[in-house]
Structures are given as structure tokens and as C-alpha cells.
Amino acid sequence: MSVFSQVEFDDHEQVVFCSDKATGLKAIIAVHNTNCGPAVGGCRFWNYTSDEEALVDVLRLSKGMTYKNALAGLNFGGGKAVIIGDPKKLKSEAFFRAFGEKLNNMNGTYYSAEDVNITTGDIMQAHQVTDYVVGLEGKSGNPAPFTALGTYLGIKASVKHKFDKEDLSGLKFSIQGLGSVGMYLCQRLHQDGAELVVTDINQSSIDTAVKEFGATAVGLDEIYAADVDVYVPCALGATVNDDTIRQLKAKIVAGCANNQLAEPRHGQVLKDLGILYAPDYAINAGGIINIFFEQDENGYSSDKATAKVGEIYQTLIDIYQRADKEDKPTHEIADIIAQEIIAKGGKDK
Ligand code: NAD
């Protein structure tokens, strides 16, 4: 299996393959870039169909973390870990201690956190043997409310830019995915007088949103064509694709899901249709911003984290204004701004 010739390889600083025979741990840790600080990014546990699939995933995700952390103005670089195998069969305390030892071998170039199929409990087990973990119980805790706050502020910035409107009252939103982030977001939008159209694969979540926020429920595939002002993806990636874009009536796409564009060219298609796209890694950075404050020399402070999450509003306005000026899609401008920050080693430098 080649590494350097992978399409997703982007001059990553380090790619480490590690295993532990006793526990069955097999992991790949990718450090993409540390210009702005030590690499930080979650660990994903997935039953990949091949080692190559895991490699592609970790290369892509670690680069994404470099861009997300830089744009959010955090002194973090970008990295990610993937663990290969069936989480239900492999998870144990010894397994995560073994993972923690692998993190120790990285000597602080990479700090790990939760991601798909990894809980704070798992990270706490790794923490028994390593300090190179973040997002800990009793410290920054659950990132979802902070991700929801950042997404809410990003939506407000998008509404201001597109409709020149300060508040959300009377606007209609379609929320796809009522999970940890989506449900908090519904609460905020409802409090602001917005009308909600929702969907989820989980009926009890739909029932909650209908009861608590007066939402209208629609089928999984009906969410795209809903007659709304803002489409809010909060479930899966790649929901902005050739099939769904032509159904959209919304004039804004702004939600917390990662990797919303199926392909980068879909950002151009949205622009051509006059639909404003809030770049996913810009609007959904609230959770990693909250984690960043675990490392504050005076100890974690949710007030400081909340204030920093507030900067997402202006970050999006800056992206939109520059995109208008340079006549480029917003996702391209987000990448350009992130690259400028990475090149100078931090937003404040
Ligand atoms: P979650 O797993 O708690 O929620 C996802 C929700 O989507 C669930 O309610 C699930 O039932 C629903 N869902 C799954 N498939 C669906 C489908 N086909 N149609 C409609 N709904 C469907 O996840 P989360 O933590 O709320 O994260 C949501 C998204 O935001 C993910 O893409 C995640 O990667 C991204 N994100 C989350 C955070 C965070 O702090 N949790 C931070 C950054 C990005």
C-alpha cells in the first residue's frame, strides 16, 4: 500500500501505523501540520473494509483538522487517529490503555479526542496512561452545546449576509438530524421565533422536536425540497450533491455536519444558484474551540470558550465578504484564509 502517492496525501508531517497484539489494537495516526501548534483531532473507530480505506480517511480528516483549527484561531495543528476494527468486539480498558501508550510514543505532537464510536469514557481510559488526550470528563465535557452555539451564530451571520436581517423570527429552517447538536440548535432557533421543519431516522427525536418546538416533521428524503429559507444539515456528510441540490428551495445552507459538499465542485454549483454556503469546518468549530480551553494555563473556563465561539459570526462574515469581492465560492475562500493562517503559524501572528 502506497502512502506518499495517495491523492489525499498532502505533505503530512507524520503518518504512524501502530498495533498491539495483546488487545488487537490497529491504528493509524496522521499528523498533517503543526505550524500553528501541536496536532489535535479526534480518534475514529471504524470497521474499515481495507487498511487503504482507513489510510485515506485519516489523511483526509487530519488535513481537515489543520484547516478547522487554523480558521478558528486556535494554536493547534491538525491531526487525527483511526482505529481499525469492530468497536463492539474490541473495546476494553486494556485496549484504550494500549492506545494511550501509542499516544505517548508521539511525544505530544498529537493530542487525541472523541470522534465516531469513541466516547469520553474511552478517552478517560487512555488518559490512565497518557496526558496526550483532550475533551475530558470533568473538564470541557460534552462539545455538542458549543458546536450548536457556533452553528447558531454562523446561521445568524449567514442570514445577515444573505437577507440583511438581524433576527431569525419568521424564517423557516429545515433541520436534518436531531442528535446531540441538532436538538440544541432547534431549541435556539425556536427561541428566536423561527419555524422548523425536521427529519431524523429516530422517531422519538422527531416527536420531541414536534412537541417542544412546534416543528413540522417530514420524511428523510423530503427534507431537501422543503419550502424553507435555510437548510441545516446536522446528520451525515455529502448531503449536498447532484441529486439534492436541484431540489433545494433554501437560499442558505448552514449546519453542523462535517463534509457537507459531496465534491468541492458542489460549492460552485451552490454559488451559481445563488445559495449561500456556510463552509462546514468554519461554522462547526464550536466543539474544538471549547476543547482548546482545557489547555488554558488558568484552567478550563466555559465563559472564555463561549466568548471565543462567538467569533464564528465574524469569521463567516469575513468569508462571505471576501467571496463576494473575489467572486469565488465560499468554501474556496475558507480554504484560502486557512492556508494564509497556517503559512504564518497562527491567526494572531
Ligand atoms: P449525533 O449522532 O448525536 O446526531 C446525528 C443525528 O442524525 C441522529 O439523531 C441520527 O439519528 C440522525 N440521522 C442519521 N442518519 C440520518 C438521516 N439519513 N437523515 C436524518 N437524520 C439522520 O451526532 P452529532 O454529534 O449531533 O453531530 C451531527 C453532525 O455534526 C455530524 O456530522 C458530526 O460529525 C458533526 N459535528 C459534530 C460535532 C459535535 O460537537 N458533536 C462537532 C463538529 C461536527
Find the CATH number of the domain harbouring 320: 3.40.50.720
264 vs 305: CA distance, rounded Å: 31
Q: Which amino acid, residue 106?
A: M
Could you count the other beta carbons within 10 Å of the beta carbon of residue 104?
A: 13
Whether residues 22 and 113 fall in one domain: yes
Whether residues 118 and 153 fall in one domain: no
pLDDT (tens digit per residue) in 175-197: 999 999 999 999 999 999 999 99
| Any ligand 1 atom below 6 A from CB of 140 | no
Is 122 among the domain residues?
Answer: yes
pLDDT (tens digit per residue) in 205-256: 999 999 999 999 999 999 999 999 999 999 989 999 999 999 999 999 999 9
| Any ligand 1 atom below 6 A from CB of 256 | yes
By the 8 A CB rule, do 233 and 240 touch? yes
Pocket probe for ligand 1: among 201, 222, 283, the residue whose CB has the most ligand atoms within 8 Å is 201
Q: How far is the CA of 183 from the centre of ligand 1 (A)?
A: 10
CATH of the domain at 112: 3.40.50.10860
Is 230 among the domain residues?
Answer: yes
Can you tell me which atom of ligand 1 is nearest the CA of 284? 43
| Lookup: cell for 271 | 454559488
Pocket probe for ligand 1: among 180, 222, 231, 253, the residue whose CB has the most ligand atoms within 8 Å is 180
Whether residues 112 and 155 fall in one domain: no
| Any ligand 1 atom below 6 A from CB of 177 | yes
119 vs 274: CA distance, rounded Å: 39
Whether residues 243 and 102 fall in one domain: no
Whether residues 149 and 123 fall in one domain: no
Q: How far is the CA of 235 from the centre of ligand 1 (A)?
A: 4
- Phi and psi, residue 233, nearest 5°: -75, 120
Whether residues 109 and 209 fall in one domain: no
| Any ligand 1 atom below 6 A from CB of 260 | no
Whether residues 218 and 336 fall in one domain: yes
Whether residues 171 and 320 fall in one domain: yes
pLDDT (tens digit per residue) in 55-71: 999 999 999 999 999 99
Total count of residues recorded for the chain: 349
Is 181 among the domain residues?
Answer: yes
pTM for this one?
A: 0.95
153 vs 157: CA distance, rounded Å: 6
Supply the range of the domain harboring residue 100.
7-64+78-127
Mean pLDDT of the chain: 97
Whether residues 58 and 178 fall in one domain: no
| Three-state secondary structure call for residue 230 | strand
What is the model's pLDDT at position 349? Answer: 86
Whether residues 55 and 160 fall in one domain: no
| Any ligand 1 atom below 6 A from CB of 235 | yes
What's the order of all strands across the beta sheet hosting 77-84?
A: 14-20, 25-33, 77-84, 39-46, 110-113
Is 176 among the domain residues?
Answer: yes
Residues with Cβ within 8 Å of residue 237, at least 6 apart in sequence: 257, 258, 259, 260
Mean pLDDT of 264-279: 98
Is 99 among the domain residues?
Answer: yes
Residues with Cβ within 8 Å of residue 130, at least 6 apart in sequence: 100, 101, 103, 104
| Any ligand 1 atom below 6 A from CB of 239 | no
19 vs 112: CA distance, rounded Å: 16
CA–CA distances in Å: residue 168 to residues 20, 174, 217, 244: 52, 13, 20, 25
What is the model's pLDDT at position 1? Answer: 78
**Structural domains in the chain (count):** 2
Percent residues over pLDDT 70 in the chain? 100
| Cβ-based burial of 265 (10 A; exposed 0-12, middle 13-18, buried ≥19) | exposed
Can you tell me which atom of ligand 1 is nearest the CA of 237? 32
Q: Which residue has the cell 428524503?
A: 221
321 vs 53: CA distance, rounded Å: 37
| Any ligand 1 atom below 6 A from CB of 244 | no
| Any ligand 1 atom below 6 A from CB of 198 | no
Q: How far is the CA of 177 from the centre of ligand 1 (A)?
A: 6
| Lookup: cell for 43 | 480518534
Whether residues 158 and 122 fall in one domain: no
The catalytically annotated residue of 26, 80, 271, 308 is: 80
What is the model's pLDDT at position 193? Answer: 98
Q: Give the closest residue (by CA) to ligand 1 atom 39.
A: 144
Whether 80 is a known active-site residue: answer yes
Distance of CA 63 to the CA centre of its chain: 12
Whether residues 223 and 338 fall in one domain: yes
What is the model's pLDDT at position 216? Answer: 98
Is 183 among the domain residues?
Answer: yes
